[in-house]
Chains A and B, each alone.
Chain A
């Protein structure tokens, strides 16, 4: 079955760190760009970061640049998001999403999301 499964969310204090993982199955993981998109409670979608299929190219939203690091392990079919210096504004459900075909900026497969809560 083609699916994405996120893990690693939870409650963290402001200034803390968290690493999210996204396990992929059912498709050739290394052939597609992968992204993280977040959604604050009751709010809209916000793109966070994207990594190319090889892992050699990464892109970040200004809101997380310098604090978050996206990476992937194609041997494990897993996407990661290392989040440091977390702020209350980072509280959201974090979705991992697969790029459509050879496109980088369309997301055709999404996980169910993992909730990150930044609070003291």
Chain B
């Protein structure tokens, strides 16, 4: 069982927006600004999409945005495109006992 809880699946049509949630606790997501999101296409390595809750690394389209409310972080993908179909994982720093925890992943399907 993963430390962070994500819905197993999400979907949307091209051009629409979809939001994926990531629920943790006051010891991880709610405690630190070290929340990140990774995109993983089948058979490929993960790619960092969001860090520090809402910052985008260079090269990541601004269609991807992150936010947090309390112990739940969210990734929103706007203007869905076919290439956005992938697995998405959230991650958070969890203090000096657990360090880094991941969510179980959400499979995003572009209809």
Could you say which residues of chain A place their CB within 8 Å of the CB of B103? Answer: 44
Could you say which residues of chain A place their CB within 8 Å of the CB of B54? Answer: none
Could you say which residues of chain A place their CB within 8 Å of the CB of B89? Answer: 44-45
Q: For B34, give its contact among A46, A105, A110, A112 (CB under 8 Å).
A: A105
Number of A-B contacts (CB under 8 A): 59
Contact B45 A108 (CB under 8 A): no
Contact B45 A45 (CB under 8 A): no
A62 to B94 Cα, complex, angstroms: 13
A105 to B93 Cα, complex, angstroms: 7
Could you say which residues of chain B place their CB within 8 Å of the CB of A88? Answer: none
B100 at the interface (CB under 8 A from A): yes
Which A residue sits closest to B105, measured CB to CB? A44
B101 at the interface (CB under 8 A from A): yes
A50 at the interface (CB under 8 A from B): yes
Contact B100 A105 (CB under 8 A): yes
Could you say which residues of chain B place their CB within 8 Å of the CB of A112? Answer: 45
Q: For A108, give its contact among B2, B48, B99, B104 (CB under 8 Å).
A: B48
Contact A45 B38 (CB under 8 A): yes
Given the interface contacts A100-B57, A108-B57, A110-B46, does A44 sit within 8 Å of B102 by beta carbon? Answer: yes
Q: A residues touching B (Cβ–Cβ < 8 Å)? A: 35, 37, 44-47, 50, 59, 61-62, 95, 100, 103, 105-108, 110-113
Q: B residues touching A (Cβ–Cβ < 8 Å)? A: 2, 34, 36, 38, 40, 45-48, 51-52, 57, 89, 91, 93, 97-105
13 example contacts (A-B, Cβ-Cβ < 8 A) are as follows A44-B103, A45-B38, A45-B89, A45-B105, A47-B100, A61-B98, A61-B100, A62-B97, A95-B45, A103-B51, A105-B34, A105-B99, A108-B57
